[in-house]
Structure 1
C-alpha cells in the first residue's frame, strides 16, 4: 500500500462549501489527488447520494461510491473535510464532518466500523468539529485502532 488510509494530507479543516454536491466533490477530489481512486469515482459518489443520502446523523456524512464504482478504486483511503459552518444535506440535515471513503475489496468495512465507533460519541463529534489542527483529528481516530 502506497498511502496510509488516513494521512495528514487527506484532512481539510475550516472548509466552506455551498452545497452537498460541492462537499461530496471535495471529499472525492482529495481521494483522487492522493491516488486512492480514479476521477470517475467522484461521479459514483454523487450517484450514491442520489440513491440514498450518506448523512449518518450527528452532523456526519460518509460519501462513498456505488456498488459498481469498485473498478475505480485503486486502494483503500479516507478523506476528511471539516465544515464548521455546516452544509445542508437536505431535509434539515446539517453536515459539519464529511468522511469520504474508498474501499478496496472489503477493507472499507473495517474502516467504516472504526468511523462508526468514533462518530457514535457526541463528545468525539464536538472535538472533530472544533479541531484546529490535523494532528487533533488524527489523534481522535487513532484512539479507535
Structure 2
C-alpha cells in the first residue's frame, strides 16, 4: 500500500528557521526521514533554489527537487512547515509556510494543482499559519478533491 501523501508526521508547526537554506533542508529532511525520498534529494531541492526561487508569494514557498531528481523519489509525498516569524527567501520575500514536494513520475502535477487550489485563497494560508493542530492542516488539503 502506498504511503499517505500528507500525514501528521509530515507536518511541523511553529518552527523557527534562520535562513532559506536551513528552511529548504528542514522541509526536505522530513521527506527523507519519512521515506519519501533518498537523502540526496535535499541537495536537489537546494539546487532548484539556485536555479529559481520556489517562493510563490503570500508568504509561501514550495521547495522541490530539480527535474533530474525524479529518480531519487520513492513515493509521492508532502511536508508542511509553518514558520510564524518567517524566513527571508531573498529579495525581501518572507516565507511563513513551506510545502515540500516529492512527486513520483507525473504525480507531482496533480499534487501541485491541489496545493495551488488551497493556496489560491489567502485565508487558507492564514488558516495554515493559525492551525492549532496538524489535523486542521490535513483537513484543509482534504477539502480539495
TM bracket, shorter-chain basis: over 0.9
- Residue 44 of structure 1 is matched in structure 2 by 44
Q: Does 1:138 align with 2:135?
A: no
TM-score, normalising length: structure 2? 0.98
TM-score, normalising length: structure 1? 0.98
Offset, 1:2: 3.5
Q: Does 1:116 align with 2:122?
A: no
What is the Cα-based RMSD across aligned positions, in Å?
0.7
- Residue 129 of structure 2 is matched in structure 1 by 129
Q: How does 1:1-145 map to 2 (within 5 A)?
A: 1-145=1-145
Paired residues in the alignment total 145
Moved over 2 A (4+): none
Give the secondary structure class of the aligned counterpart of 1:78: strand
Query: For residues 127 and 67 of structure 1, what CA distance do their matches in structure 2 show?
Result: 31
Query: For residues 57 and 95 of structure 1, what CA distance do their matches in structure 2 show?
Result: 8
Give the secondary structure class of the aligned counterpart of 1:68: helix
